[in-house]
Amino acid sequence: MIKRISWNIVLVALLALLALPWWFVLQGLSLQLPTPGAELWNYPGIGTALANSLLVGLLSTLLAAACASLIIACEAVSGRPGKNDVGTIFTAPHLAFAIAFLWLFTPFGWFDRLFPFAAGLVEQQSLVTLVIILVLKETPFLVVLGRQQLMQLPYQQWLLQGQALGTDRTRSWWLVVFPAWLRAMRLILFAVAIYSVAVVDLAQIAGPLNPPLLAPLLVGWQLQFDPLSQLLAQQATWLLIALGGVMVSWVVIQEWGLVRLLKLRIGRPPSRALIKALSGFSLYFSSATRLLFILISALTLAALLALSLGYGWFYPDLLPLEWQLKSWLDNADLILQLSLNTLGLGLLTAVIATASIIWLREWQRLNQRELPDLWLLLALFVPQLSLVIAWLGSDWSALLRSNHLSVLVAHSWFSFAYGYLVYAPTERNTTQSHLLTGRSLGYGYWRSWWHFKRPLMHSGIGYCFMVTFLVSVAQYVPTLLLGAGRLPTLTTELVAVSSGGEWRLPAVYATLLWFIAFVALMLVQLTRSKQNLARES
Amino acid sequence: MLFIALLQLVLVSRVQAQQTSAEPQTVFFYAWGGSESVNDYLRWAQTQLKTRHGIELQHVKVADIAEAVTILLAEGEQQTSNIDLLWINGENFKVLKDAGKLLPDLPERVPNSALLRDDLNWQTDFGVAVDGQELPWGIAQFQLIFRAPLLADHSLTNRVAVEDLLALAKRHPGRLSYPKPPAFHGTTWLKALAHELVHAPELLQQPPHKVNTAQVLQPLWDYLDQLHPYLWRQGREFPGSAEQQRQLFNHGTLDNAVTFNPNEIPALQQQLRLTPAATAVSLGSSALTNFHYLAIPRASDNSAAALTVINFMLSEAAQQRKAELNGWGDPMVIRAPTSAKPSLHAPLFPSHPEPHVEWTAVLEQEWLRRYQR
């Protein structure tokens, strides 16, 4: 009885913590909807901005999902799972990756200087450039998390069963495993799709400019204080939320359409020649794509490092006038302080968010009741700046008097949503039999979980911890506005110094952020490898 | 659990350590963080203030000072402000002044305000009376940056008339552009151009509702209609900000950029941050000139220390250091001491003032209506 009460107390506290920010949002968010006669529709170019935003979202989600599916398929069918090949791009801060990519591949960029007669480089700012960068960034994200989701499926058994029934591995993959994998990836695809339409920093430096996409327009309005801009910002917030809803529907339709298409192939085996050709293409595409990712990530990382060290690097020079460590050395004290703040906040956030997510999943298991994912992931659907500004206008700061506590709560809240979408599918696919066995041996719930279920969830917990950590590390708006500058991090510094016209100092912070994220990924993969070795031995 | 407890302990102790050392002399100074030179200068000011006055100046770097305005506007009437000092001007100042958020009577509270130059019209900020709620920190003058060979080919030196600009654009299609309004420098470009093109520039000093805006601004739109087809991407796209245009300039994509700091070119060139080929010119016969200011939120509980910081920023030592070309290079707003190096006396172009503040919205909205599709 006492145990039951304590479970319920924790549940109420946790749900209150998750719901309270929404209460503050309702306090501070205006209900100015973009109805047909709304002022927003009179804004010049709003139709183009809306259509372009939607196009970027649909295309980048579709292409990134297709690339990731082919890479995962090839690995699974060949039985050679990839390891750290795409990890470097996955861990790159979005802004840093885009800066380096544009500096390398645009007209007048480094490759243009090296091969002045080469054609086919991407434009400095355009719809196509933005889609390319998003696909390059999102595909590794989907591959890394896709591999983790795949590990939770008994796909090797399914492929073997298929082979036993006379169906080759490629066909079995697409007809049996792929639909299950795609279903497990649904929440992650939601996050990618919503991010693609709501992205601000990348859209500002790589997207179209006249008009900009909807999200940068919204941010621009929010930072102007005349009544018209404020009204436009309020209406655009709801429009962007609606766009997020459209993207979620798109992911569902995409999944439904693909699964329907594949079902049509059941019982209608294609010719051997076609299978061979498709397998060959898949293998070729996967290898080429992985090679491309390794190459681009190595080049962008090298470019970023070079940018942080190069002094006087102007068109059409291939190399800078001087190489100096000055930017690193002059800022060493600040870098140390910012790194400590970033790591401390990130780790604390990751611990809080991961523990909350695990606890909430176990409560659902124990009570055999599934809370709707939509409510738990709602934070992903609303533009972050709108949420934070709504909090500023509410009783948020009166309740959380400390700036540090305020930042920590906001980080944990945003990280929770991302962590949940990584952890929940893994947990759902994990058998509960060991946990039940433990309990039948007389262990309490959590002791049983620790000894029997946790080892099975090792990878899921590791990835959840990493994702929540990385989400915290990447936060700018809540850290600055709620923290009121009391808790500067590498990201707040990067965004602030990036607002100038140079890349040398931003490159220093971006390289550091990249390094931190890369180490986090490597640590997670290392613990996973150790666990696999332990299992095998 | 031990790990969590340890982490909490580390964070709490860091926070407590910061708070302890912050009491009572830490001044949280919100200022744009996009310039390495400005950041370096503020780091120098931090050490000076700590040594001379025991004040810990915390530079809170923001990408846009509007972020700080957002924080201030959200703070309740009875609430102590998180911000002690601000670097602002223009629309952001107007918003905070209208909201009654700023500490008044700064000239009376800051002794060094007596050193301010008499020849500068800093008492109005974008047409809005300062009323003692901010004090000038530096001078801003809108200038165009070009690749010098481009101007030399056309025998242009330190002044480019609007006709010259059109001729340059026609001779070098796709190489020139300007920041897209309503970005700050984009709107300033429109104001500077309007001053050159409208038949009676003095009308721009009046509130727009007192004049026929369509008629006044028609020459501006006619000129832009002629210019745009020869700009970067045929004038269908524009750099998102002055900083972005500077990147495109250094990158080689464009042959022009804009600046608001009259000394920025030599300063950045000395620091190897701007191509040696860059040179500054004024648009037309005079350059739009304004000031950037320091202000203190009324609700700051550390206003005494913030006033000391402003007083220091207006001291001869701080102003001279700010004007040095191997640093920020921002011109002095106080009378230069006789001992000051000649290079610190900034050569400014003849100036003209900002239009009345209400023209900003008129220009931005009409530009968007015409050119954003």
What is the three-state SS of chain B? CHHHHHHHHHHHHHHHHHHHHHCCCEEEEEEECCCHHHHHHHHHHHHHHHHHHCCEEEEEEECCCHHHHHHHHHCCCCCCCCCCEEEECHHHHHHHHHCCCECCCHHHHCHHHHHECCCCCCCEECCEECCCCCEEEEEEECEEEEEHHHHHHCCCCCEECHHHHHHHHHHCCCCCCCCCCCCHHHHHHHHHHHHHHCCCHHHHHCCHHHCCHHHHHHHHHHHHHHHHHHCHHHHCCCCCCHHHHHHHHHHCCCCEEEECCCCHHHHHHHCCCCCCCEEEEEECCCEEEEEEEEECECCCCCHHHHHHHHHHHCCHHHHHHHHCCCCCCCCCCECCCCCCCHHHCCCCCCEECCCCCCHHHHHHHHHHHHHCC
Check residue A421 and give its pLDDT: 85
What is the helix (H) or strand (E) element at residue A330, kind and residue range?
helix A326-330
Per-residue tens of pLDDT for chain B, all 373 residues: 444 444 444 444 454 444 444 455 899 999 999 998 999 999 999 999 999 999 999 999 999 999 999 999 988 888 889 999 999 998 899 999 999 999 999 999 999 999 999 888 899 888 889 999 999 999 988 999 999 888 887 777 788 999 999 999 999 999 999 999 998 899 999 999 999 999 998 899 888 999 999 999 999 999 999 999 999 999 999 998 898 899 889 888 899 999 988 788 888 888 888 888 899 898 888 888 889 999 999 999 999 999 999 999 999 999 999 998 888 989 999 988 777 666 666 567 777 878 888 899 999 999 999 999 7
Average pLDDT over residues A102-120: 82
CA separation, residue B255 to residues A135, A252, A453, B233 (Å): 32, 48, 63, 13
Residue B54 CB: number of other CB atoms within 10 A? 10
Q: How far is B253 from chain A (nearest CA, A)?
A: 6
Chain A residues in contact with B62 by the CB 8 A cut-off are 480, 485, 496
Residue A42 in domain: no
Which residues in chain A are closer than 8 Å to B70, comparing Cβ atoms? 222-223, 389, 392, 481
Instruction: Please check whether residues B275 and B147 belong to one and the same domain.
Output: yes
Cβ partners under 8 Å of residue A533, min gap 6: none
Q: Is A369 a member of any domain?
A: yes
Q: Based on the structure, what is the number of domains in chain B?
A: 2
Same domain assignment for residues B223 and B362: yes
Chain A CB contacts of B371 below 8 Å? 210
Provide the domain limits for residue B213: 141-286+353-371
Q: Which of A308, A334, A350 is the last residue of a domain?
A: A308
Question: Cβ contact (<8 Å) for A496 and B247?
Answer: no
What is residue A438's predicted lDDT score, i.e. its pLDDT? 79
Which of residues A266 and B126 earns the better pLDDT score?
B126
Q: Please check whether residues A342 and A400 belong to one and the same domain.
A: yes
Residue A499 placed within a domain: yes
Mutate to test the interface with A, among B1, B2, B7 (most CBs of A within 10 A): B7
A39 touches B: beta carbon within 8 Å? no
Does this model's pTM top 0.90?
Answer: no
User: Same domain, yes or no, for B332 and B212?
Assistant: no
Please check whether residues A25 and A173 belong to one and the same domain.
Answer: no
Q: Are residues B42 and B149 in the same domain?
A: no
Q: What is the mean pLDDT of residues A356-370?
A: 90
A366 and A262 share a domain?
no
Same domain, B152 and B39: no
Smallest Cα distance from B46 to chain A, Å: 13
In terms of domains, do B178 and B229 share one? yes
Domain boundary among A256, A278, A308: A308
Chain A, residues 93-152, CB within 8 A of chain B, namely: 103, 106-109, 124-125
Same-domain check for residues B13 and B108: yes
Q: Is A237 in the same domain as A200?
A: yes
Does one domain contain both A531 and A463?
A: yes
Burial of B267 (0-12, 13-18, 19+ CB in 10 A): buried
Q: Are residues A375 and A240 in the same domain?
A: no
> Do A363 and A481 share a domain, yes or no?
yes
- A525 with A444, same domain? yes
* pLDDT exceeds cutoff 50 at A371: yes
Question: Do B240 and B300 share a structural domain?
Answer: no
Do A462 and A373 lie in one domain? The reply is: yes
CATH of the domain at A387: 1.10.3720.10
pLDDT tens figures, B80-123: 899 999 999 988 999 999 999 999 999 999 999 999 998 888 99
Rounded to the nearest 5°, which phi and psi values hold at B179? -65, 145
Domain boundary among A283, A308, A333: A308
Among A35-44, A363-372, A379-388, top mean pLDDT goes to: A35-44
B145 and B128 in a common domain: no
**Number of domains chain A is built from:** 2
Which residue from A minimizes the CA distance to B61?
A496
Contacts of A338 in chain B (CB under 8 A): none
Tell me, yes or no, whether A303 and A383 share the same domain.
no
Please check whether residue A209 touches B, CB under 8 A.
yes
Same domain, B296 and B281: no
Residues A14 and A89 in one domain: no
Task: Please check whether residue A315 lies inside any domain of the structure.
Answer: no
Residue A136: what pLDDT? 93
Q: What is the CATH number of the domain that holds B207?
A: 3.40.190.10
Domain assignment of residue A329, given as a range: 1-31+323-537
Q: In this predicted model, what pLDDT tens digit does every residue of A412-466 receive, in sequence order?
A: 999 999 999 889 888 887 877 777 787 788 888 888 888 888 888 888 899 899 9
Quick check: is A38 in a domain? no
Contact call for A210 and B35, based on CB within 8 A: no
Q: Are residues B316 and B252 in the same domain?
A: no
Most confident of A48-52, A224-228, A518-522, B15-19: A48-52
Is residue A89 a part of any domain in this protein? yes
Please check whether residues A356 and A229 belong to one and the same domain: no
**Residue in the structure block whose two tokens are 């090298």:** A302
Residues B113 and B6 in one domain: yes
